[in-house]
Chain A
Amino acid sequence: MSRTTSDLLYLVTIVTFILALRFLSRPDTARLGNWIGAAGMLLAIAVTLAKSEVVSYFWIAVGMVIGGGFGAVAARRVKMTAMPQMVALFNGVGGGAAALISWAEFHNRAPEPGNLKLDVSIAIMLSALIGSISFSGSMVAFAKLQELIGGRPITYPGQQLVNGLVFGTAVAAGITIAAGGEEQWLMWALLVLASIFGVLFVLPIGGADMPVVISLLNAFTGLAAAATGFELENNVLIVSGMLVGASGTLLTVMMGRAMNRSITNVLFGAFGQVSSGAAAAASTDGGSVRSAGAEDVAVMLAYAHKVVLVPGYGLAVAQAQHDVRQLADLLEEKGVEVSYAIHPVAGRMPGHMNVLLAEANVPYPQLKEMDEANPEFGRTDVVLVVGANDVVNPDARNNEGSPIYGMPILNVDQAQTVVVLKRSMNPGFAGIENPLFFNPKTVMLFGDAKESLGKLIEDVKGL
C-alpha cells in the first residue's frame, strides 16, 4: 500500500476517533461512539499491516492474540466495581507500549552517530519519559485500587526533593541524548528513572484521588502516543494521541472540579495527611457512637414516610446493589417514598454508582443527583447510608482544618434519623474521621453491607 493511500485511510480513522469522542459525551449516543472508535481502530490496524514496511506477520499475530486475549478476558470477567482499576491497568500497558516503541527506535537508529535528527531525538525522549511514567504510575494506581497496597497516602520527609531529583536526572539523561550523547546506557537510565518517578509520584496520593490521577495518566499516555507519531512520522498517531492528551487533560480538570479538588492539590497535597489531628479532634467531641440491631432499623424504615438511600463504595465492594434495590422495592410496597441520593463521586469514579445501580435495574426516576437530593433531606425521615463515608462527612462543610473541607457533600445530617451501614469504625478510604457517626441522630448498623441488607430485608418482610 502506498504512503498516500495509507495516510488517507488513517484520516478516516482520525475522523472516527473524533466522532467517537463527541458521541461518548452524550448519554444516548455513547455506546455507538465507542463502537465507531473501535471500528476506526480496526481500520488503522489493517492499514498498518498492509504497509510495505511491514514484512513479517507471524509474531505480530501471536502478540496480538496474547495481548488482545488477555485484554478481552480481563475486561469481560472484571466485576463492575473493579472497573476503575481495569482502566488504570489498560492505560498503563498503553504507556508502556509507547515507551518500548521509542526505546526500539532509539536502539535502531542511534548506533550511527548523527543519524538521529534533533526533532526525532526529542520525540523519542518525550515518549520514553512520559510513557514510562504513565506505565509505572498506572500500575501503582491499579495496586492501590485493587488494595494490593494500602490506599492511604505514603509520605516521608524530603519526598518532594527526592521526586524532583529523580525526575530531574531522567530529564537530564534525555537532554544529554538529544544534545548528541547517543549512548544506549543513557536511554536505559532514562527509562528506569522515569519508571521510578512514576511510582514515587503516585505513592503519596490517597486512594480517594485515584480517579483524577488515572485520568491524568490517561492524558499522559495520549501525549506519549503523539510523540511516537513524531518518531515514526505517522499522522494517525500524532492526531489521535494528541486528541486523547487534550481531552484527557480537560476531563481531569472537570473531575477535579466535581470533587472540588484542584489538580495541584491532588498531585502535591498528600490527601488525608493535611491535618488529620484537627479532623480527629473535631470528630471525637461529638459524643459516643450508637449502634442498633437490624430489627430496630427495619421498624424505623418501614414506618417512615420518606427514606433516602445513600449508596457508597461499601455497597459496591459488597456487590450489594441488587439487595439495596430489593429493600427499596419492599419499602415501596409498604407505601414508603424511596429515592437514591447519588454523590457525583460515589463509588470510586464519577458516574460509577450510576453504572452499578443501573446494573441492578433501579428505576431511573428514583436516582437523584446531589443538587436535587440536598434540599430534600430536611423533609426526610430516615437516611440509609450504605457504605458511604467521605461524601456524607459534615466536616467538609464545617471544619476548616479537615482535608476534605470545601468538598460538596450530601447533607444527610439534616434528616430526622441517619442509619449508617458500615463494616467497622475504621475511617473511610481517604483515612479521615467522620463526625456524622458521633452525631446523636445517627445509628450505626455494623456488618458487611450485603449481610446487613439481607437481615433488613428479612425483618421488613416480617413486619
Chain B
Amino acid sequence: MSHGQLRVFELTILVLAIFLGFEVVSKVPTLLHTPLMSGTNAIHGIVIVGAILVMGAGGKDTLTWVIGFVAVILASANVVGGFVVTDRMLEMFKRRRPEPAPADSDGKPPPEQ
C-alpha cells in the first residue's frame, strides 16, 4: 500500500469508529453517566502505547528521553487510575443487586447483610 492509500484506509476506520462510538453509548441511564465517563477516561489511557513507542526507541537524545519518560508516567497514571476509579464506583452498585423487591410489604427495609 502506498502512503496515500494507507492514510485513506486509516481515515476510513476513523470515520467508522466515530459512528460506532455514538452507537455503543446511545442508551445509557443517567445512573451510569459518571461511571461511563470514567470508563472512557480509562480507555483513552491507550496513549500509553504511544508513550512506550517514544520511550522504547533506540538512539534518543536527552530531550526525547525526558519527554518520553514523563509521557509514560502520565499515561500509566491515566490507565491504572482510570480503571481503578471506575471499578470503585461500580462496586457500589453491585452490592445491592440481589436486594430489590422481597420483604418490603410491611415497609421495613431488607435486613443488613
A interface list, Cβ under 8 A from B: 13, 17-18, 20-22, 24-28, 30-31, 33-35, 37-38, 41, 44-45, 48-49, 51, 53-57, 59-60, 62-64, 66-72, 74-76, 78, 80, 83-84, 86-87, 89-91, 93-94, 96-98, 100-101, 103-105, 107-108, 117, 119, 211, 214-215, 218, 221-222, 224-226, 228-251, 254-255, 258, 329, 332, 335, 337, 344, 349-352, 354-356, 358-359, 361, 363-366, 369
| Selected contact of A251 from candidates B40, B42, B67, B99, CB within 8 Å | B40
| Given the contacts A56-B56, A230-B10, A245 and B46 also touching, CB distance less than 8 Å | no
**CB distance B76 to A243 under 8 Å?**
no
**CB distance A91 to B41 under 8 Å?**
yes
B interface list, Cβ under 8 A from A: 3, 6-7, 10, 13-14, 17-22, 24-58, 60, 63-65, 67-97, 99-101, 104, 107-110, 112
**CB distance B44 to A24 under 8 Å?**
no
| Given the contacts A237-B47, A358-B96, A97 and B75 also touching, CB distance less than 8 Å | yes
| Selected contact of A222 from candidates B40, B50, B51, B101, CB within 8 Å | B40
**CB distance B63 to A241 under 8 Å?**
no
**CB distance B13 to A239 under 8 Å?**
yes
| Selected contact of B42 from candidates A34, A55, A107, CB within 8 Å | A34
**CB distance A237 to B49 under 8 Å?**
yes
- Residues from chain B with a CB closer than 8 A to the CB of A37 are 39, 42-43, 83
CA distance A351 to B78 in the complex (A): 22
**CB distance B81 to A89 under 8 Å?**
yes
**CB distance A101 to B100 under 8 Å?**
no
| Given the contacts A21-B39, A117-B3, A352-B34, A251 and B52 also touching, CB distance less than 8 Å | no
| Selected contact of B34 from candidates A234, A332, A337, A355, CB within 8 Å | A355
CA distance A86 to B41 in the complex (A): 11
**CB distance A30 to B35 under 8 Å?**
yes
7 A-B pairs with C-beta separation under 8 A: A24-B36, A27-B29, A75-B84, A83-B88, A101-B51, A251-B40, A332-B107
| Given the contacts A93-B78, A251-B28, A236 and B46 also touching, CB distance less than 8 Å | yes
**CB distance A349 to B43 under 8 Å?**
no
Instruction: State the majority secondary structure of interface residues on A.
Output: helix
**CB distance B39 to A33 under 8 Å?**
yes
- Residues from chain A with a CB closer than 8 A to the CB of B58 are 55-56
| Selected contact of B96 from candidates A21, A38, A248, A363, CB within 8 Å | A363
**CB distance B67 to A103 under 8 Å?**
yes
**CB distance B75 to A351 under 8 Å?**
no
Q: 5 additional contacts, CB 8 Å, given A53-B53, A237-B46?
A: A68-B76, A91-B44, A91-B78, A107-B63, A363-B104
**CB distance B110 to A72 under 8 Å?**
no
- Residues from chain B with a CB closer than 8 A to the CB of A235 are 10, 13
**CB distance B50 to A63 under 8 Å?**
no
Q: Which residue of A lies closest to B78 (CB)?
A: A94
CA distance A33 to B13 in the complex (A): 23
- Residues from chain B with a CB closer than 8 A to the CB of A86 are 81, 85
CA distance A97 to B94 in the complex (A): 33
**CB distance A241 to B49 under 8 Å?**
no
- Residues from chain B with a CB closer than 8 A to the CB of A94 are 41, 44-45, 47, 74-75, 78, 82
**CB distance A27 to B93 under 8 Å?**
yes
**CB distance A226 to B41 under 8 Å?**
no
**CB distance B69 to A63 under 8 Å?**
yes
CA distance A450 to B52 in the complex (A): 47
Q: Which residue of B lies closest to A325 (CB)?
A: B109
| Selected contact of A20 from candidates B20, B39, B112, CB within 8 Å | B39
| Given the contacts A76-B84, A351-B33, A60 and B46 also touching, CB distance less than 8 Å | no
**CB distance B14 to A238 under 8 Å?**
yes
- Residues from chain B with a CB closer than 8 A to the CB of A78 are 85
| Selected contact of A108 from candidates B13, B14, B64, B108, CB within 8 Å | B64
| Selected contact of A247 from candidates B21, B75, B108, CB within 8 Å | B21
- Residues from chain B with a CB closer than 8 A to the CB of A237 are 46-47, 49-50
- Residues from chain A with a CB closer than 8 A to the CB of B42 are 34, 37-38, 41, 90
**CB distance B71 to A100 under 8 Å?**
yes
Kindly provide the distance from the CB of B60 to the nearest chain A CB, expressed in whole angstroms: 8
**CB distance A21 to B71 under 8 Å?**
no
**CB distance A351 to B43 under 8 Å?**
no
- Residues from chain A with a CB closer than 8 A to the CB of B40 are 21, 218, 222, 243-244, 247-248, 251
- Residues from chain A with a CB closer than 8 A to the CB of B45 are 41, 90, 94
CA distance A244 to B78 in the complex (A): 14
Kindly provide the distance from the CB of B32 to the nearest chain A CB, expressed in whole angstroms: 6
Which 6 interchain pairs have the tightest Cβ spacing? A246-B21, A67-B76, A71-B81, A54-B56, A63-B72, A71-B80
